[in-house]
Amino acid sequence: MKLSLAINASQFHLDEQKFKKLKINLNKSEVTHQWVPAELFHINLLSLGEMDYNKISELDAKIKSIIQSHGIFDLKLRGVSVYPNQKEGRLLWIGVQNSIPLRSLQDDLARNLISENIYQQDKLFRPILPIIRLKNFQNVSDMISPYNGTDFGKLKVEQLALYEMISGGAFPIYKLLKSYPLNSNQKKISDLTL
C-alpha cells in the first residue's frame, strides 16, 4: 500500500464564491478536472511510499511518539498556484504558510522516520493544499492570476492523518486510515517568550 502522512485539513471551508470565476473558466475551457473532496483536503508532510500492511502498527507507534512534543498551531492560507508550472498545470493548490511550527513538525517526522528506515527523503518540503486536479497538462495562467494574493484565512492544525493512495493517475483516490491528534497541552511556539 502507498502511504502519505499529512495534516488533515478537512475542516477548511472552501468559499465557493471566491472560486466562482475559476469554476466558470474551467467549465468554458472544457478542461477535464476534478475538485478535491473537502473531506480529503490535506497538506502532505511525507510521502512514505509503498509499505506492507503488517508494518502499519510499527509506523503508528512511531508517529504517536514523535508528535507528543508538537502542539496545535495555525497556518495562513494565501494565493493559488499550480504544479508543475502555469503552462503545464496538473494540480491547482492554495499556498500554505511555511511557519516555524510546521517546519519543526515536518522536520521532526522526517528525521525520525528516516532513522527508522520508514521514510526516504526525495525532495524539498513545500506545503500546499491541493484543490483541483487536471487530467491533462493545461495552461492555467489566466485562470489563476486573479487569485495570486487572495487570502483564504487560517487553518487550525489539530491533527495529522495517514492516507493510503489507492490509485494513481490524474485523479488519485485517497483513503483515510488513521488520525493523530496533536498535543493540545503543548504550548504553541508563538506563545513562548524568549
- pLDDT under 70 in the chain at which residues? 116-117, 122, 168, 187-194
Q: How far apart are CA 6 and CA 184, in angstroms?
A: 18
Q: Where are the domains of the chain?
A: 2-183
* pLDDT score recorded for residue 13: 86
pLDDT in tens, 95-146: 999 999 999 999 999 999 887 667 777 678 999 999 999 988 888 888 899 8
Name the strands in the sheet holding 128-138, side by side, starting at the edge strand that comes first in the sequence.
33-35, 128-138, 89-96, 73-83, 151-157
Q: How far apart are CA 22 and CA 168, in angstroms?
A: 25
Instruction: Write the CA distances from 103 to 21, 61, 70, 87, 141, integer angstroms.
Output: 33, 21, 11, 29, 29
Report the percentage of the chain scoring pLDDT > 90: 52
Residue 33's DSSP bridge partners are 134
pTM: 0.88
* pLDDT score recorded for residue 7: 97
- Multiple choice CATH, 2-183, 3.40.50.300, 3.40.718.10, 3.90.1140.10, 3.30.465.10: 3.90.1140.10
* pLDDT score recorded for residue 39: 92
* pLDDT score recorded for residue 190: 47
